[in-house]
Amino acid sequence: MDDLDPVSLAVPFFILAIVLEIVLARMGLVRANYEPKDTFTSLAMGLGSSVAGLATAGVIFAASLWVYQHRLFDIPMTAVWAWVLVFLLEDKIYYWFHRLAHERRFWWASHVNHHTSQHYNLSTALRQTWTGGVAGTWLLWLPLSLIGFPPAMVAIQKGISLVYQFWIHTEAVGKMPRWFETVFNTPSHHRVHHARNPRYLDRNYAGILIIWDRMFGTFQPELEGEPCRYGIVKNLATFNPIRVAFHEWAAIGRDLMGARSLRDAALYLFGRPGWSPDGSRETSEQIRARWAAAAGAARPSPATGAETGLTPDVRSESPA
């Protein structure tokens, strides 16, 4: 069981599911938009992520084993309660990792490539990071080994989470039953997460359970009257996997070269994506605030019932 790798076991299913979605979409039976170059980029990013993961896997597992040697408790892998507990704890850690990866630029640089596709289909799930290991987000999972969960157990649960998240990258599935939408992450919830509409920016960070977003104020339901527009705020005009993987790191480098103070350098690196000292760029919060102000101004005046002419769907989005 220690050698179980849910992601490796699921790879054939991933490929078959993508092919099936393409075929069903061509037959007009499901909704799925595929663009050949975009799909190739996603597949290339997935392959590159696997190779990059091998380069850092030894360091990560060695660190986990070292922490486990200093564990506080002995938690058996054979206990059902232990799997339930590691599922809940790992899923909560994933939520905070995912939120950190959106709200702090250093970690956004390693995660942004997952959001660069302007299409949303099963192949998008494979558009994974090449630099996550270097960015060090794996450190967030080390406390699980310190508590006493065997590193192999943590790795298996992380794999289960990734496998689950594959199927939610689709437009072929509408909304699930209400009870399921209330508890679990679904295609509807994750479409919102991948959307660049101001209302939808930086929402629904869940891995498996959407309850964390509901608890911590980051939940946003998908609205019938506001279709998701996918991609990043300033979309890339390229399908080059190298640029997709490293464009934000390069942008950070340019900003650091032009920084006028240590404070500016620190905020360019660890501030919110879109931060700039002169306010010439916008963070997601600023984009959402501008959209909300326009939406409020577009409502009928209580006194006259007149419209201002502004639309609540702000199209002139700025880089973030």
Domain that holds residue 201: 6-216
In this structure, the number of other CB atoms found within 10 A of the CB of residue 13 comes to: 12
242 occurs within a structural domain: no
The string of DSSP letters for 40-82 reads: HHHHHHHHHHHHHHHHHHHHHHHHHHHHHTT-SS---TT-HHH
25 occurs within a structural domain: yes
Beta bridge partners of 195: 230
Cα-based distances in Å from 69 to 57, 61, 66, 162? 18, 12, 5, 27
pLDDT in tens, the chain (320 residues): 666 889 989 999 999 999 999 999 999 999 999 999 999 999 999 999 999 999 999 999 999 999 999 999 999 999 999 999 999 999 999 999 999 999 999 999 999 999 999 999 999 999 999 999 999 999 999 999 999 999 999 999 999 999 999 999 999 999 999 999 999 999 999 999 999 999 999 999 999 999 999 999 999 999 999 999 999 999 999 999 999 999 999 999 999 999 999 999 999 999 999 999 999 999 999 999 999 998 887 666 554 444 333 333 333 333 33
In this structure, the number of other CB atoms found within 10 A of the CB of residue 283 comes to: 21
233 occurs within a structural domain: no
- Residue whose C-alpha is closest to residue 228's, from 264, 206, 245, 203: 203
Q: Is residue 245 within 8 Å of residue 234, measured between CB atoms?
A: no
What pLDDT score does 304 carry? 42
Q: How many distinct structural domains can be found in the chain?
A: 1
In this structure, the number of other CB atoms found within 10 A of the CB of residue 243 comes to: 15
**CA-CA distance, 250 to 248, in Å (whole number)?**
5
Q: Is residue 315 within 8 Å of residue 199, measured between CB atoms?
A: no
What pLDDT score does 315 carry? 33
What pLDDT score does 282 carry? 95
270 occurs within a structural domain: no
In this structure, the number of other CB atoms found within 10 A of the CB of residue 33 comes to: 12
pTM over 0.95: no
Token pair 């930086």: residue? 202
CA diameter of the chain: 71
259 occurs within a structural domain: no
